[in-house]
Structure 1
Amino acid sequence: MSAGLSSLARMANYVLVPGAWLGAWAWDEVAEELRQAGHRVYPVTLSGLAERRDEAAAEVGQAQHVADIVAVVEGDDLRDVVLAGHSYSGIPAGQAAGLIGDRLRRVVYVDSNVPTDGKSFVDGWSDEGRAWVEGQLAESGGFWPPLAAEDYAGQDLTDEAVATIVERSTPHPGRAITEPAKLVRPISELPTTYLKCLMDGAVPSSDVLELLKSDSWELAELPTGHWPMFSQPAALAKVLLQAG
């Protein structure tokens, strides 16, 4: 096989889904690294966020976010998809991975939650945490407000990165974090890399540890905080390349 054909055979289509409050812009530096390595990259802005925020944003549910991801894959007729979901977006990305069938090459959860059938993003929270977020949703008209600058302390972020995140974040649709997931197949069956960012906890959550017992799952780690696309974009891109 020629070098050109070999390179083509290895090429992946990276679909990158940002976490709560963020848009496709959050992946800019990572996307550039992946493109320089010869891959196609499709960063996603989920409905109700960033440039897709409108007067109906508060009504956007998590199922719509699943549909957003599937629409990118199917609308662009993508194959060999490496689907990465960060933080909150592990939940819609994990569901979308089961829906796109043989278009999927691998799922990468970037320090993220993982979907459980019939459960929402906040279902695993403590009673105190649930009460806190429900209060925020009530006070903000159905939105989950973005974090403040001080909430990013200790996460390996420069002051410039924190300022950018705070300035560009938009309120997250409340329904998206309270609507339950619906899985079409067990996520344990899908080829998966779980990336743990060690400054946001030394070990994955108990549900992820259980999933890592599957032969289809593997663990990767980075010595950085919860937003590696800003703190260590080149290292994150390397993890994604290795996964693909």
Structure 2
Amino acid sequence: MTVFIMVAGVFTGADVWQETAARLAAAGSEVHAVPLTGVDADRPAASARVGLETHIEDVIGVIDAVGAASGREIVLVGHDYGIHPVLGAADRRPQHVARIVYLDCGMPQNGVPALAAVPDQALRAQLADRAQRNEHDGELAPPSRDEWQRWGSTAGISDAALERLTALAAPQPLGTLLQPLQLTGAVAAVPTTGVLCTRNGVSVDLVQRLVDLGDPAMAALTDPQVTFFELPTGHWPMLSCPSELADVLLQAAAGEGRRLRPVGAAEPPAHLRPFPLEVPELPRDRRGHVDLYVPDAEGPRPAVVFVHGGPVPAGARPTPRDWPTLVGYARLAAAEGMVGVTLDHRLHDVGDFARAAADVAAAMELVRADPRVDADRIALWFFSGGGLLTADWLTQPPAWLRCLAASYPILSPLPNWGLNDSRFRPVRAVAHAGALPIVLLRAGRETPEIAATVEAFVTAAKDCGAHLELVDVPNGHHGFETLDAPEETRSALRHAMRSVVTRLTG
């Protein structure tokens, strides 16, 4: 018999699992939704000092009670914050745990508190300040009905279910978020399954791309004991699709699911495949975090600066400015008589946009100061997650910025990025773009979550009269340069580059 022990996320207790637990039980499984001290009404805190260790002991108590009976396979399920006490408990009872299910959550590391997974960037900073002052007592008030979106996508949750979620929500003891997770490493031997909720911004393909980037920290996800599932819903699948979640948990318990491809197992990953256009083999001129590809032409030349997407893990090798796609774009610009520029910026996490923006600004100063560059004729071209970095340039376009381009960009923070109150919101910023020309390459087969941000931007641009040119790649996916039909992609790239060059030379 399979025994599911399930631990809820922040602000939520055992009741949130009710429908999923009933479906698992009907399928013949034993189910335990763990009441957490200081969160669940039937487990009040004996003191104000409730921490992560308290909740780890709550989970261990259930494991020990269940583990006393033989012939049972225990599957631990941790949603959101709940993965932290799940890992802490499994690390101390690895012999009793057959599998751990990560339900739409991150990958907590030893010594790191759950605070690191709080999606709201502003709140995370406030809590980090309290952690530095060792102020672990107290509680974090639960969200109101309209505030849940700050903690994850509510896609798929009915109005009634959202009302219920709000009514059952409880304050979260601060110590549970601020106390570091302590692991011995024993939990590493336990098989795992990740269940990703795609409407919250994460998919198996996205995780595969992160693995392909070559970050050693991601390599463990290609172990044969690691499997993945997707659910096309928001962050609370136990409320939006409890039957589907139960089905996935049963399959996970059986060891089913998709497995990731190890780096180097087959053909090169998409970001290391050749650029689809033939371009001149110009050498790079490396200046700090910037590479210039300078054409053989007289006088200072306009420049096109290509800003990679992300987040890209800090350990990724090669770094983005050496990816064939970015180098190809820069050399294509040079073939048109422009100085092509690539750069590395430090967008390693969704909390790094301000740092990445500073890196891009510093790159612009370096490029404009180069005597081979016409400092008054510059274009910026952004990709993927780097699209959020367009906000600064749209809000206050400098006179020397003659064009802004973007390929398959993300133009509004995704639900799980916690950036709702940040300045990196191009959909809002485009109203201030004025006469700045914007060239947008739109992928026809973009993921729904990213496509929604692009369409919101297009609508906002039309509403404010922005100078927007759309270059559509109807059959293109995210990262279409190396993924899709060559001729359609080549045509779109040539069209977009000519549009940018025209605005730099006109």
Report the TM-score range of the alignment, normalised by the length of the smaller protein: 0.7 to 0.9
Residue pair 2:113, 2:179 contacting (<8 A) in 1 also: yes
Among 211, 221, 236, the alignment partner of 2:230 is 221
Residue pair 1:57, 1:173 contacting (<8 A) in 2 also: no
Q: Structure 1 stretch 186-195 or stretch 41-50: which is displaced more?
A: 186-195
TM-score relative to the length of structure 1: 0.85
**CA separation of 1:52 and 1:72: change in aligned 2, threshold 3 A:** same
Equivalents in 1 of 2:166, 2:83: separation in Å? 21
Equivalent AA in structure 2 for residue 192 of structure 1: T
Equivalents in 2 of 1:229, 1:127: separation in Å? 25
After the TM superposition, which residues 1-244 of structure 1 pair with which residues of structure 2 at under 5 Å, given as runs?
11-52=1-42, 54=44, 56=46, 58-76=48-66, 77=68, 79-123=72-116, 128-133=122-127, 142-152=138-148, 154-185=154-185, 187-203=187-203, 209-244=218-253
Equivalents in 1 of 2:121, 2:80: separation in Å? 21
Equivalent AA in structure 2 for residue 217 of structure 1: V
Equivalents in 2 of 1:114, 1:16: separation in Å? 17
For residue 106 of structure 2, give the secondary structure of its aligned residue in structure 1: coil
Give the C-alpha shift of residue 37 in structure 1.
0.5
For residue 176 of structure 1, give the secondary structure of its aligned residue in structure 2: helix
Give the C-alpha shift of residue 92 in structure 1.
1.1
Equivalent AA in structure 2 for residue 131 of structure 1: A
Offset from partner CA, 1:37-80 (integer Å, 9 cap, x none): 01111111111112145464642100111111011010232541
Equivalents in 2 of 1:230, 1:62: separation in Å? 25
Equivalent AA in structure 2 for residue 30 of structure 1: T
Offset from partner CA, 1:72-126 (integer Å, 9 cap, x none): 0102325410110100011110121222222111110110233211110113668
**CA separation of 1:53 and 1:142: change in aligned 2, threshold 3 A:** farther
Q: Determine which structure has greater relative contact order: mean sequence separation of CA pairs < 8 Å that are 6+ residues apart, divided by chain length.
A: 1
Equivalent AA in structure 2 for residue 242 of structure 1: Q
RMSD (Å) for aligned C-alpha atoms = 2.8
Give the C-alpha shift of residue 181 in structure 1.
0.5
Q: Structure 1 stretch 111-120 or stretch 198-207: which is displaced more?
A: 198-207
For residue 161 of structure 1, give the secondary structure of its aligned residue in structure 2: helix
Equivalents in 1 of 2:225, 2:126: separation in Å? 36
Residue pair 2:140, 2:172 contacting (<8 A) in 1 also: yes
Give the C-alpha shift of residue 144 in structure 1.
1.5
Greater Rg, structure 1 or structure 2? 2
Residue pair 2:106, 2:117 contacting (<8 A) in 1 also: no
Give the C-alpha shift of residue 34 in structure 1.
0.6
Give the C-alpha shift of residue 237 in structure 1.
0.3
Residue pair 1:94, 1:114 contacting (<8 A) in 2 also: no
Residue pair 2:37, 2:45 contacting (<8 A) in 1 also: no
Equivalent AA in structure 1 for residue 57 of structure 2: A
Equivalent AA in structure 2 for residue 222 of structure 1: L
Give the C-alpha shift of residue 147 in structure 1.
1.6
Residue pair 1:188, 1:216 contacting (<8 A) in 2 also: no
Offset from partner CA, 1:120-153 (integer Å, 9 cap, x none): 0113668744224468999xx7212112211345
**CA separation of 1:55 and 1:97: change in aligned 2, threshold 3 A:** closer
Equivalents in 2 of 1:129, 1:187: separation in Å? 30
Equivalent AA in structure 2 for residue 148 of structure 1: S
Equivalents in 2 of 1:135, 1:87: separation in Å? 22
**CA separation of 1:57 and 1:233: change in aligned 2, threshold 3 A:** farther
Of all paired residues, the percent bearing the same amino acid is 31
The runs of 5 or more residues in structure 1 that have no matched partner are 1-10
Q: Which residue in the other structure is 2:330 paired with? A: none
Equivalents in 2 of 1:149, 1:124: separation in Å? 21
**CA separation of 1:191 and 1:142: change in aligned 2, threshold 3 A:** same
TM-score relative to the length of structure 2: 0.43
For residue 41 of structure 2, give the secondary structure of its aligned residue in structure 1: helix
Give the C-alpha shift of residue 211 in structure 1.
4.0
Aligned residues: 234
Equivalents in 1 of 2:218, 2:238: separation in Å? 23
Residue pair 1:189, 1:214 contacting (<8 A) in 2 also: no
**CA separation of 1:127 and 1:200: change in aligned 2, threshold 3 A:** closer
Equivalent AA in structure 2 for residue 214 of structure 1: D
Residue pair 1:95, 1:184 contacting (<8 A) in 2 also: no
Give the C-alpha shift of residue 186 in structure 1.
5.3
**CA separation of 1:181 and 1:132: change in aligned 2, threshold 3 A:** same
For residue 167 of structure 2, give the secondary structure of its aligned residue in structure 1: helix
**CA separation of 1:127 and 1:222: change in aligned 2, threshold 3 A:** closer
